[in-house]
Amino acid sequence: MPTQANYASLDGLHTFPRLLFHHATIRPNAPAMREKYLGIWQTWTWSDVAERVRALACGLSSLGFKRGDNLAIIGDNRPHLYMMMAAAQCLGGVPVPLYQDAVAAEMLFVLQDAGIRFAVVEDQEQVDKMLEVLPQVPTLEHVIYDDPRGMRHYNQPFLHDIHELMEMGRIHDRNHADFLNAEIERGHFDDTSVMLYTSGTTGKPKGVCQTHAAFIAAAQGGVQVDRLGADGDILSYLPMAWVGDHLFSYAQAMVAGFTINCPESGETVMTDLREIGPTCYFAPPRVFESLLTSVMIRMEDAGKFKQKMFHHFMDVAKRCGADILDGKSVAFSERLQYWLGNLMVYGPLRNVLGMSRIRVAYTAGAAIGPDLFKFYRSIGINLKQFYGQTETCAYVCLQPDGAIKFDSVGPPAPGVEIKIADNGEVLVKGPMLLKEYYKRPDATAEAIDADGYFMTGDAGFLDEDGHLKIIDRAKDVGKLSNGAMFAPNYIENKLKFFQHIKEVVCFGHDRDMVCAFVNIDVGAVGNWAERRGIAYSGYADLAGKPEVLELIRECVEQINANLIHDSMVADSQIHRFLVLHKELDPDDDELTRTRKVRRNFVAEKYKVLIDALYAGKANQFIETEVKFEDGRRGKVSADLKIIDAKTFPIVKKAA
Amino acid sequence: MSKKIGDVILDLQNISLRFGGVKALTDISFNVRQHEIRAIIGPNGAGKSSMLNVINGVYHPQEGQIFWHGQERKRMEPHMAAQQNIARTFQNIALFKGMTVLDNIMTGRITKMKANFIEHALWFGRAKNEELEHRKKVEEVIDFLEIQHIRKTPVGRLPYGLQKRVELGRALAAEPSMLLLDEPMAGMNVEEKQDMCRFILDVNDQFGTTIVLIEHDMGVVMDISDRVVVLDYGKKIGDGVPDEVKNNEDVIRAYLGAGH
């Protein structure tokens, strides 16, 4: 049984349904969920949510949903879908959120693996996917949809409008008033509360079963460390199938009782962010990166005076902003300047970013460039990294206020133990560990060692203050042929901080030098090209321009110059690189749905390019198949130039 | 998909239109039934847009009769068409470039506004409630066309495909019973065309709007229309369901450019 420090304080509230109905009792009129619809933010209070969850749960039950059943949840972040999660949990069922932008064939595996009988989906698009896979998922009995638009001509008896389900449930609830309460009573904190599928960077996805206790422990830890209260707001816009969203938008909201806000559509997130002004915000590093890029691009269009002011105060912020945020001592004159800057630049900038009310902003999922991280902290946004996996409820390390190190993910979070294995792999133990992989005892046994530690697969070390530093995926860390360590992610992350570079894949394991593929950021480079009067017709054309290649070469050489100061990775300077003719894309299986590079797949697919890099060729022709959003296929081809970058002699530290 | 196509609501009989010595349309007759998607196709200069302008009251044919819901229509002007719930989009986008998407679509509601100029200017009386009501309708259109993210963007800053969608939005805001679309997909890429097709079908299906469209993309026309009329040099050379028209020899000749 998991050990949980604060069960006493939970007062019997050790499952999510109990938490929900608790909030509905103590703060019935406080907003629990908001969603923008027809241009207006609609609010559901905790008592509204509780009423609907009751209705949904009873409705599910009258359709035959039973304890232990898995409920597939597919769609954008919508209040009804979050309510469905709670409804399934009320009945002792397990919600299984899926990535909503996956095509039907990609969903097939999860639907089959989890033996889905019930699916709740957002709209017609997702219903069509369910109908497409129906013949291959014989277990699927009922599909419930939230948005009735376009559904008029669907007359299959197993399709249900969510509002009808609620009506059904309300009738059921009136006739069997004790039914649901008894079901909720039967819920135990050691029951599986949710099943989240790993993204499957290697092999088939695995269903990670997390208990109520695990997610409540993880949520409580986070709420304590960052003092999140019931008055907060969070914008829920990342896929519901991602562990981070489940932790923040569901578990923490249920534990702390704050409000979740669902954006109008995927494309309005930035506007909605500004309107809501959340107190807590989380985003993967690339979102922070693109925010910064767009700010910088817009600054280039600003007038001379504004540009001067911006750059002057950004320099001030760089010097003392982060220290002021950390509460360290800073000279009075600097403080005065920062105060002025706050008035004229940082405040308005935070407002434009929708971060005026931010108490804490999180990033995770990939390493964040230190300069990027410093930028946000220096303008007064309390940006923190956290570290965790699906298997650990995204809860292993948290950076406490006042003790932020740019290059570490912080000390172990409350209740978490960390151990470093002999091969450098990070091992963790605590209440937030997974219960098991669904129907995969073999994988479970492989992931958790005899002492109960979960093997994260990340290589890292604890520094002198006990903060964890992650270097790379343990399996990605290789060796150059001269024996020096090669940590591809480490170098790629450094390069990705340049606004012109979107994605990098480095190669070097068992080779005599490091070479790289680069994806340019079409927004930033396009803007750069326009300013210089360079005409281009599209991504492939832009990526092949000699001026662009020169621009990227400068970036690479800057990193090379930077790397020689770090003796661990000085040998990993990039000798040769090329700019790919297409963007790496999850639709072509080159990135995972969480947009991490699938290194081996890319290496296999572009083998001829790698060979050309190492064979010393000056250019290489390549033709690649691409998949369009509508499922059609096409081909793109290009003759790619291979560029040699200047490398620098390694400075040996004097013995 | 089951769709009920109703009675003839617009009947054009022996229409001829001349500009001086130029015969734009010669003796053309066809009709439009309620709830159908009716396409007008033909090579460049065949008189398709002129036909649409005749329906809309922009041009007045020298000969022929037009029956709207069984009533013969005498001379009519575009604003009368608007009052009769006929809305249209244009071949070359005719939006107010400096205004936001929201405001542009709001202009589609103008025929429905009852408050007078003074009330609007001073924001009192009927104007206030009315605007809320109209705004709600406009928001429904925005939701329908999935353009929430550009609600407050000036139209001039939008890419072409989205401007076309906004124009459709403005026409929809008038809650038309008949929608005239002049090359709604011209200059669009495949993905934008697919979106536009979906919207046209959805409008037709969900609101029961009768649609008359001119389009050059044959694939699109044959896929989405119920009946097609083919014009060439101002004359009607074909009329019928897509399959009939596809196999019509005159149509094939006109499109393959055989000698006249």
Nearest to A365 by CA among A455, A253, A286: A286
Task: Determine the Cα–Cα distance for residues A209 and A433; give it in Å rounded to an integer.
Answer: 9
pLDDT band at A119 (very low <50, low <70, confident <90, very high): very high
Region label for B166, one of left (φ > 0), alpha (ψ between -120 and 50) or beta (otherwise): alpha
Cα A499 to Cα A463, A495, A526, A646: the distances in Å are: 30, 9, 11, 21
Residues of A in contact with B1 (CB under 8 A): 153
The one-letter amino acid code at A300 reads E
Strand order in the sheet with A633-644: A501-507, A514-520, A574-579, A633-644, A619-627
Instruction: For residue A317, give the amino acid letter.
Output: A
Axis crossing angle, helix B160-173 with helix B190-207, rounded to the nearest 10: 10
State which amino acid sits at residue A342: N
What residue has token string 């009519």? B76
Mean pLDDT, consecutive 10-residue stretches, chain B (260 aa), reads 75 91 90 93 88 90 90 83 88 90 92 80 82 91 92 92 92 93 88 91 90 88 92 90 88 69
Cα gap A622→A628, rounded to integer Å:
19
Separation CA A228–CA A69 (nearest Å): 33
* pLDDT at residue B176, rounded to an integer: 93
Q: What is the mean pLDDT of residues A332-339?
A: 92
The enclosing H or E element of B31 equals strand B22-33
Mean pLDDT of A171-194: 93
Label residue A4 by pLDDT band (50, 70, 90). very low
Find chain B residues with C-beta within 8 A of A150's C-beta.
Answer: 202, 205-206
Contact between residue A222 and residue A413 where contact means Cβ atoms under 8 Å apart: yes
Strand A192-197, strand A425-429: pairing: unpaired
Q: Which residues of B touch A (CB under 8 A)?
A: 1-2, 135-136, 139-140, 142-144, 146, 148-149, 151-152, 191, 194, 202, 205-206
Whether A6 has a pLDDT exceeding 90, the answer reads: no
Contacts of B234 (CB under 8 A, 6+ apart): B17, B23, B24, B25, B26, B28, B46, B47, B50
- Which chain A residues are Cβ-neighbours of B146 within 8 angstroms? 265
Please indicate whether, in this complex, the C-beta atoms of B136 and A37 are within 8 angstroms of each other: no
Is pLDDT larger for residue A483 or for residue B244? B244
Closest CA to B26 of B188, B206, B235: B235
Q: Residues A57-73: pLDDT tens digits?
A: 999 999 999 999 999 99
Average pLDDT, stretch A357-374?
Answer: 83
pLDDT given for residue A470 in this prediction: 83
Closest Cα in chain B, distance from residue A514 (Å):
39
What pLDDT shows up at residue A509?
87
Angle at which helix A212-226 crosses helix A16-26, to 10 degrees, equals: 50
Q: Are A62 and A36 in contact (CB under 8 A)?
A: no
Q: Which two tokens stand for residue A606?
A: 């572009």
Sign of CA dihedral B221, B224, B229, B234: negative
Give the separation between CA A533 and CA B66, rounded to whole angstroms. 55
DSSP label at B226? S
Q: H or E element: which one contains B38?
A: strand B37-41
Contacts of B152 in chain A (CB under 8 A): 271
Residue linked to tokens 């008949």: B178
Cα(A594)–Cα(B221) distance, integer angstroms: 39
Nearest residue of chain B to residue A36 (CA atoms): B148
pLDDT in tens, A412-461: 999 999 998 877 789 999 999 999 999 999 989 989 998 999 999 888 88
Contact B149 A265 (CB under 8 A): yes
Q: Got the DSSP string for A102-152?
A: S-HHHHHHHHHHTT-SEEEESSHHHHHHHHHHGGG-TT--EEEES--TT-T
Whether residue A111 has pLDDT greater than 80: yes
Contacts of A153 in chain B (CB under 8 A): 1-2, 205
Please report the pLDDT score of residue A568 as a whole number.
65
Cβ of A265 within 8 Å of Cβ of B191? The answer is no
Q: For residue A550, is pLDDT > 70?
A: yes
Give the per-residue pLDDT at B1: 42
Helices (H), A538-615: 539-544, 546-563, 599-605, 607-615
Please check the confidence at residue A8 and state whether its pLDDT lies above 60. Answer: no
> What is the DSSP-derived secondary structure letter of residue A246?
I
| Cα separation, A222 vs A435, whole angstroms | 20
Task: Give me the sign of the Cα torsion angle A561, A564, A569, A573.
Answer: positive
Helix, strand and coil percent figures for chain A, each rounded to 5: 40, 20, 35
Mutate to test the interface with A, among B35, B131, B136, B149 (most CBs of A within 10 A): B149
Does the beta-carbon distance from B146 to A37 stay under 8 Å? Answer: no
Q: Which of A533, A427, A507, A429 is nearest to A474 (CA)?
A: A427
Structure confidence at residue A477 (pLDDT): 81
- Report the pLDDT value the prediction gives residue B94, as an integer from 0 to 100: 87
Using a CB-CB cut-off of 8 Å, the residues of chain B touching A267 are 148-149
Q: What is the pLDDT of residues A393-405, one digit of tens each?
A: 989 998 988 888 8
Nearest chain A residue (CA) to B143? A38
Instruction: Locate CATH 3.40.50.300 in chain B.
Output: 8-85+176-256
Task: Please name the residue that has the structure tokens 């008189």.
Answer: B47
| Chain A CA closest to residue B151 | A39
Give the pLDDT score at A566: 66
Q: Confidence class of residue A1 from pLDDT cuts 50, 70 and 90?
A: very low
The residue whose two tokens read 């929201």 is B102
The answer to whether ipTM exceeds 0.85 is no
Nearest to A38 among B136, B149, B205 (CB): B136
| Predicted local confidence at residue A3, as pLDDT | 39
Q: Which residues of chain B neighbour A151 with C-beta distances below 8 Å?
A: none
Burial (CB count <10 Å: 0-12, 13-18, 19+), residue A464: exposed
> Rounded distance, CA A172 to CA A170, Å?
5
Chain A residues in contact with B135 (beta carbon < 8 A): 39
Pick the CATH number of B8-85+176-256 from 3.40.50.970, 3.90.230.10, 3.40.50.300, 1.10.520.10: 3.40.50.300
Token pair of B164, please? 């076309």
What letter does residue A344 receive in the DSSP assignment?
A: I
Strand order in the sheet with A70-74: A94-98, A70-74, A118-121, A142-145, A159-161
Confidence label for A357 from pLDDT (cuts 50, 70 and 90)? very high
Locate the DSSP E strands across B52-201.
63-68, 71-72, 86-89, 178-182
C-alpha triplet B51, B56, B57: angle, nearest 5° = 100
A/B interface, count of CB pairs below 8 Å: 38
Enter the pTM of the model: 0.80
Interface of A with B (CB under 8 A): 36-40, 149-150, 152-153, 264-265, 267-268, 271, 628-630
What tokens does A208 get? 């990670």
- CB-closest option in B2, B146, B194 to A153: B2
Q: Could you tell me which chain A residue has the CA closest to the CA of B191?
A: A630
pLDDT for the residue numbered A267: 86
Burial of A420 (0-12, 13-18, 19+ CB in 10 A): middle
Contacts of B143 in chain A (CB under 8 A): 37-38
